[in-house]
Amino acid sequence: MKINFLIVIAVFLSTISFSQTKSDVIFVDGVCGMCEKRIESNCLATKGIKLADWDKKNRMLRVIYNEKKISLEEIHKKIASIGHDTKLEVATDEAYAKLDMCCKYRDEEVVKNHK
């Protein structure tokens, strides 16, 4: 009886340790395919992020990540560090300035030209 109880506990604990993968959808500002490639490739190159899929129409990023390796706040900071604003983090002027001219999502003319 004790062995069965120990087996149940062991299975339960191993299930908890494997369920550290989390999925979230976050707003990431951008306007074009180059933005999409930059956002997705930088996210996927980040330790702990398993999937990154940004939709340029609604500017939402679906991300699957291991919360033991990276937090959602760290993901927002990573995205801001490459020049893209999120709801929680605003990119610095220096990071934003590094974007190509067609990616300047803060410029109304650029946004208008992408519609």
Model pLDDT for residues 3-15, shown as the tens digit of each residue? 655 565 655 555 5
CB distance 88 to 12 below 8 Å: no
18, pLDDT greater than 80: no
111, pLDDT greater than 80: yes
Confidence of residue 114 (pLDDT cuts 50, 70, 90): confident
* SS3 at position 38: helix
CB distance 57 to 2 below 8 Å: no
Q: Which residues of 58-82 are buried (b: 16+ CB within 10 A; e: fewer)?
A: ebebebebeeeebeeebbbebbbeb
Backbone angles phi, psi at 86, to 5 degrees: -125, 180
Chain centroid to CA 72: 8
CB distance 105 to 96 below 8 Å: no
Taking domain 21-113, whether its CATH number is 3.30.70.100 is answered by yes
Confidence of residue 93 (pLDDT cuts 50, 70, 90): very high
Kindly state the tokens that stand for 33: 């395919």
- The pTM of the full predicted model, rounded to 2 decimals, is 0.81
